Each structure stands twice: as C-alpha cells, then as structure tokens.
Amino acid sequence: MLQVENLTIGYGKTEVVHNISFHVQKGEIITILGANGAGKSTILNTIVGLHQAKDGSIRFQGKEISKARPDQLVKQGIRLVPEGRQIFPQHTVLENILLGAYIEKNANKIDSRLQSIFERFPRLEERKNQMGGTLSGGEQQMLAIARALMTDPTLLILDEPSLGLAPIIVGEVFDLLKQISSSGVTVLLVEQMANSALKISDRAYVLETGRIVLEGKGEEIRNNSDIAKAYLGSI
C-alpha cells in the first residue's frame, strides 16, 4: 500500500535520513522504532507532505506522492496524528473534530461519522463543548485520533501516540489502534515505547541515526533480547 524507496531527507545542508526503504501492506500495523533524533518524525512528515524529500520515491497505492501537498494526501486517505497530539487548544472538542473533516463537504457524511466517533469515544461527546486545551493528555490523544478518523482514512499514521501518557492510558491507546486496524485501516506507527508497540505490530523497523538497521516481525524483535538491548537501550 505504501512503498518508500531510497528516501533521503534533510534540513538545509544537513542530511537527517539517509537512503531508507520500507513498505506497508494493506491491513498491517507497522512500527518504526528508534531513539530521539533518529529521524522518525522527519520521515512521517515527509510522507504526509509537510516536508520535501531530497531524493527517493514514496508511492501510495501505486501512485507517486513524494511531491504531493498535505491536503491532497488527506483526500487520498492518508492521515497523520502528529507528535505531541497538536490538538487546537482554543477550539472546542467538537470544533477540533469538525476541523478533522475540513475537506469533507457532504454534511450527511460528516454527521454519520461524528455519530460513530462519539459512539467509539463517549468521553469526547460528554466534553464536546469544552475547550480542547482543558482535556487530559489521554483525552487529547483520543481527540487527535478521532479528528484523523473523520475522513475515513485508509492509512493512519501516528507519531509517538504514547508520548507523555500514563502506562494505563498507553495501553488504552494501543488497544484502540488494534481495534481501528481490525476495522480495515492500515496503521503506521512511530514509537519509543518498544514493548507496547511491538505487541500489536505485525512488522517493525528499527531506525538508527537516519538508517534502517533492522526489520522483522513484531514478536521476533520483541523476543530478541540482544536486539532490544542494542537498539532500545539496556533498560
């Protein structure tokens, strides 16, 4: 579904991601693991069109998308839940969700999706008239995901959804991702919390200083203590 080949990305003269390739198949949950500064967010931002690659190709459902704008990609069904959630703190919860459906002009579709979102996230319905900024971290993450689901994406990309969340909430988030995945959405995930992420992943890539140094099945990587030690630190 998503095919990244020989991707090289940089800021100014400095190269951050060097010639990486990976792919995501339909229905999979894929995790990219790596330490801070390894270039994970840069890769995701480039896939969704916020940043331009220096070299290489990104294909989505067979189409080259490395030059596309974010709004075009949203229309094609790629949604990113950005790092740190990035909800709009001075918009109400409802407004945040509606912003997620900005490109959808059909009011009926918006209504029905809003209904199903509220069914899935009853907490958000309870708080729909509160400002986004007043939500707890976990609720904000739910909101950020809900917002992305408003256009029925085919590929949902998440940048460190566990960031700053309590372990129990992290569990909820990953359960939710599993659910979303089983409803037919392909999920690409970038994480530092290796264990929780690997548990739900079909396959994973390990990224180190802008290079993919390892790939394999989620369980394999999780059970391989050497690998875990080498790339995820000794803890």
Q: Would you tell me which residues interact with other proteins (CB under 8 A)?
A: 12-16, 35-39, 48-50, 69-71, 74-75, 79-80, 82, 84, 86, 88-91, 95, 98-100, 102-103, 133-134, 137, 147, 151, 160, 162-164, 166-168, 170-171, 192-197, 199, 208-210, 232-235
Give 104: exposed, middle or buried? Use CB within 10 Å, 0-12, 13-18, 19+. Answer: middle
CB nearer to other proteins: pick between 25 and 180: 180
CB of 63 to other proteins, least distance (A): 17
CB of 141 to other proteins, least distance (A): 11
Tokens of 167: 């372990």
CB of 128 to other proteins, least distance (A): 14
CB nearer to other proteins: pick between 25 and 166: 166
The rounded distance, in Å, linking the Cα atoms of 170 and 49 is 28
CB of 29 to other proteins, least distance (A): 16
Give the chain's end-to-end CA distance (angstroms, integer).
35
Residue 62 has φ and ψ, to the nearest 5°, of 85, -10
Give 206: exposed, middle or buried? Use CB within 10 Å, 0-12, 13-18, 19+. Answer: buried
Tokens of 64: 């080259």
CB nearer to other proteins: pick between 27 and 137: 137
Q: 83 vs 6, 98, 173, 189, 233, CA distance in Å? A: 24, 20, 14, 11, 22
* Pairing of the two strands 155-159 and 186-191: parallel
CB of 70 to other proteins, least distance (A): 4
CB nearer to other proteins: pick between 66 and 162: 162
CB nearer to other proteins: pick between 57 and 230: 230
